[in-house]
Copies of this chain bind each other. A is one copy, B any other.
Amino acid sequence: MRPSTRDRILTSATDLFGLRGVDAVSLDLIATDVGVAKQTLLYWFPSKDELLEGVLAQAAAELVLVIDAALRSAPDEPLERLDAVVRAVFRPAVRRPALLGLIREVSRLPAGVAEQLTGRVQPLAQRAHAYLQAEMNAGRLRRADPGLIAALCYATVTGIATEPEALRVNGWEPSAAGLRRLRDELRAFLRAALAP
């Protein structure tokens, strides 16, 4: 079954926004990509801002879902759980690089949209914070500021996923084997950074 026009618009907009940046992508471009008139697009999302909002809401929801699932099925050991999250995030991030690129756009968004989005992610961050704190107290993680550690892990993962240039400069290439190696190095890097 073919997805609805609305969904096709969301998918296309997510990819284009994430890949080229929100400002660089015109409604006309998205419409062409979807194969529909611009006004159809404006019928579903009355303005570019609302389209962006929809795109972000969907992407955030998806990400939260993926992470949640990974955590639920991971063993009760902090480094293993971290591993599970990285693996879980890595797959969709590689298949659709736009997803993380999109998140990187947040800092440039109008305040309202940004807040709405951060609000959606906040619960996740708070859970992570509490969890990290507990594990640090239990001596299973290196003692540090849990909030900053969470932010640093996030920065490392999104940073490496959204900056292919940095990888290319360092002689990496995006083959299947390269991706595996990158994923494993990333996991080892974070493990080492967090191990007690």
Contacts and interface: CB of A to CB of B under 8 A. Distances in A.
A122 B166 CA distance: 10
Give the interface SS of chain A, mostly helix, strand, loop or mixed: helix
Contacts of A171: 129, 147
Contacts of A149: 185, 189
A37 interface: no
A178 to B, nearest CB: 9
A53 to B, nearest CB: 16
Interface in A35-84: none
Interface in A92-149: 104, 106-108, 114, 118, 121-122, 125, 129, 142, 144-145, 147-149
Contact of A169 (B21, B24, B122, B188): B122
Contacts of A129: 170-171
B122 A151 contact: no
B151 A107 contact: no
A168 interface: yes
Given A144-B185, A190-B193, A151 B125 contact: no
A170 B194 contact: no
A91 interface: no
Contact of A159 (B122, B156, B168, B181): B156
Contacts of A167: 147-148, 151
Interface in A2-30: 20-21, 23-24
Given A122-B169, A163-B158, A171-B129, A181 B148 contact: yes
A21 B166 CA distance: 19
Contact of A189 (B125, B152, B164, B165): B152
Given A107-B165, A154-B159, A156-B159, 14 more contacts: A107-B164, A118-B168, A125-B170, A129-B170, A142-B192, A145-B181, A148-B182, A152-B156, A154-B166, A155-B156, A158-B159, A158-B163, A192-B193, A192-B195
